[in-house]
Amino acid sequence: MFSFIARAQQGITGRLTNAAGQPVAQAALILSAPDSTYLESAVSEDDGSFRLLSTARPYLLSVQHLAYETRTIADSRSDLGTIVLELKAQTLEEVVVRAERPIVRVQNGRLTFTPQGLTKSKILATAFDLLAETPGLKSTDGESIRLIAMDQTPTLLINGRPSTRDAAATLLYVKSLPADRVLRIEVAHTAPPEWNVKGAAVNIILKEGLSDRLTAQVQTQWDNKHANRFTQTASVMYASGKFSADLLYRLSSGHEISRTNMYVRHAVGSDTAEIRNHSDYRSHTPATHDLYLNLDYALADRHRLSVYYNARVTPNETFDDRSVSTLTGRSEQHGTLRDHLQSIAAEYTLRGWRAGAEYLYSDSRRDYTGTVAGRPIAYDRLQRIDRLHGYLRGRHALSERISLRYGADYTRTRNHSEQTGAAPVTSDEDIANAYVGTDITFAGDRANLSASLAGEGYRIRDYRRQSILPNISLSYAPTDDHALTLGWQAFHNYPAYWYRQTYRREVDGYEVNLGNPDLRVARYNIASLNYVYRSRYAFNVYYYHVRDA
């Protein structure tokens, strides 16, 4: 791995100290225009330093800390030098100084963690390392992130935006992100509707307007889990002034081997049949190419344009699937897989508004030959997907403690599927969603209520469904050592496109996969209770119920 970093000063900088000259960390800095219009906020670092990106002049800067008097500065300089804060006039019993400062906060129904606290006891180089150390999350294999309570993989978002890449490609990008680019990590067991994901999610907020830098990384990875697999990754991250760019390319190749032994007893009346099945699956992928590009330009304060491009291509993957069953004898299948996916998206941000559009194209082909239970088989499968997604989301403060959020999403998908021996199927799917919600902070900023209501409409062929989906989360942190969140969420889960087609695949003489055109939408209702103690120990309880929508 190699990296080169160049930096330049810009925005507003300074350093906070107390009267003894000691640095003041974790102070909130709120920047506003002379008319009190909010511009930007930041938090001071361990050494008391801070940086704000705004170029607005003149400005008002409010410095707030629990143990110090609030100070408001009216100025036009870019370098404020050293700012001395005065201790509040409180008794020792009212102010407790801790060697380990809190790293968790409750905000808008989410648990928010800062990298400064996570890296206090060890060196963490990447955003993935930060996630693995976040309370309530775990990585047992170094390759995935899971929620401890639900034992499930949460959806990963970058700056509140889900990726069109698969989970493996998203994790690869997270592993290439330097830890110092992460501003905070948000863990939501009930994701808000503006994130446009289902269930639990983790949102990685990146620092904006970094000082000038160019970072390049080259990684090579070798894995052997019964077979060799090689992965080469190159990434370049560049930032200069108002412009930044991320480019990541991955080339992976290798073999996969899996073996399965199955024992089954079928009882029909007084008769019992015992079946033993052994299967051996091997595949070889000469090359899979992943490309990700993100271009970001800050037009002005809180005024930004972002463009994303993602591609994944597997030109040719071969496989052999062999099995022996005491019921049907020997089966063998051989085939090739070819996949091609591309997506391009653009997002425009203006103060409290976010508008975006995304187009995705996917082409997947499979061909199979061989024998199943002594019968020869030969067929091809094709699936082509065109998907267009657009959204508009807004968030505005009604007061210092109450904010309103609202938005709408629309997704149009055309799915074309073919299989040898069956008629081609083309179907159009429409999903429309609109929501409104509020966030209320109370109990001296120690508690937060986040609630929203979404209306969702769904159509495919002659099937239509309209539903109301509530989402509510209550967060409370009575002290710095305790953080509690209680949430309830309802959402829809849609069947995969291929599962709704009239396809048939004979895996072996015993197992057959069939498509079902009558598959319907599932409605999930999930309740969760999460408690974090001393920012390190997480306790979680959850309940979910699934039924037809």
Phi and psi of 511, rounded to 5°? -110, 130
Same domain, 481 and 522: yes
Nearest of 393, 413, 412, 388 to residue 403 by alpha carbon? 393
CB 407 within 8 A of CB 441: no
pLDDT in tens, 204-257: 988 765 557 787 878 787 877 777 888 888 888 888 878 889 888 989 899 989
Same domain, 343 and 405: yes
Same domain, 325 and 208: yes
CB 133 within 8 A of CB 118: yes
Note the pLDDT of residue 163: 75
Three-state DSSP at 212 gives coil
The runs of H, that is alpha helices, within 406-497 are none
Is the alpha carbon torsion for 162, 168, 172, 177 positive or negative? positive
Query: Is there a domain that residue 5 lies in?
Result: no
Q: Which of 97, 127, 149 is where one domain is finished?
A: 97
Q: CB 335: neighbour CB atoms within 10 A?
A: 19
pLDDT in tens, 374-394: 889 898 989 999 999 999 999
pLDDT in tens, 483-529: 888 889 898 988 887 777 777 788 777 788 888 877 888 999 989 88
Note the pLDDT of residue 122: 61
CB-based burial of residue 546 (10 Å sphere; 0-12 exposed, 13-18 middle, 19+ buried)? exposed
Note the pLDDT of residue 74: 87
Nearest of 543, 548, 547 to residue 189 by alpha carbon? 543
Same domain, 77 and 119: no
Query: Is there a domain that residue 69 lies in?
Result: yes
Three-state DSSP at 264 gives strand
Task: Give me 405's structure tokens.
Answer: 């959020």
Same domain, 22 and 112: no
Query: Is there a domain that residue 4 lies in?
Result: no
Same domain, 373 and 509: yes
Average model confidence (pLDDT) for the chain? Answer: 83
Confidence of residue 9 (pLDDT cuts 50, 70, 90): very low
pLDDT in tens, 317-368: 999 999 888 888 888 999 999 999 999 999 999 888 999 999 999 999 999 9
Nearest of 57, 1, 65, 15 to residue 32 by alpha carbon? 57
Q: CB 536: neighbour CB atoms within 10 A?
A: 15
Q: Which of 50, 72, 97 is where one domain is finished?
A: 97
Amino acid at 113: F
**DSSP of 95-133:** ----SS---EEEETTEEEE-HHHHTSSS---BHHHHHHH
Task: Tell me, yes or no, if the pTM score tops 0.85.
Answer: no
Task: Give me 500's structure tokens.
Answer: 């709704």
Note the pLDDT of residue 481: 78
Q: Which of 63, 97, 131 is where one domain is finished?
A: 97
| 342: enclosing H helix or E strand | strand 329-350
pLDDT in tens, 427-480: 899 999 999 999 998 887 788 899 999 999 999 888 888 999 999 988 888 887
Note the pLDDT of residue 406: 95
Note the pLDDT of residue 335: 93
Same domain, 162 and 123: yes
- State how far the Cα of 399 lies from the Cα of 36, in Å rounded to an integer: 13
Task: Give me 144's structure tokens.
Answer: 């995935």
| CATH number of 29's domain | 2.60.40.1120
Domain holding 53, by residue range, is 12-97
Confidence of residue 187 (pLDDT cuts 50, 70, 90): confident
Task: Give me 173's structure tokens.
Answer: 């990008």
Same domain, 146 and 83: no
Q: Inform me whether the pLDDT recorded for 283 exceeds 70.
A: yes
**Per-residue b/e over 96-116, b at no fewer than 16 CB within 10 Å?**
eeeeeebbbbbbbbbbbbbbb
Confidence of residue 38 (pLDDT cuts 50, 70, 90): low
Query: Is there a domain that residue 460 lies in?
Result: yes
- State how far the Cα of 454 lies from the Cα of 469, in Å rounded to an integer: 5
Average pLDDT on 276-302 reads 89
Same domain, 112 and 178: yes
| Rg (alpha carbons) of the chain, rounded to whole number | 27
DSSP state of 499: G
Pairing assessment for the beta strands 79-84 and 12-17 based on DSSP bridges:
parallel
Contacts of 351 (CB under 8 A, 6+ apart): 302, 303
Confidence of residue 3 (pLDDT cuts 50, 70, 90): very low
Query: Is there a domain that residue 191 lies in?
Result: yes
**DSSP of 8-43:** ---SEEEEEE-TTS-B--S-EEEEE-TT--EEEEEE
Query: Is there a domain that residue 355 lies in?
Result: yes
Pairing assessment for the beta strands 155-158 and 146-147 based on DSSP bridges:
unpaired
Query: Is there a domain that residue 1 lies in?
Result: no
Same domain, 59 and 124: no
| CATH number of 397's domain | 2.40.170
Same domain, 306 and 334: yes
Query: Is there a domain that residue 362 lies in?
Result: yes
Same domain, 93 and 200: no
Number of domains observed in the structure of the chain: 2
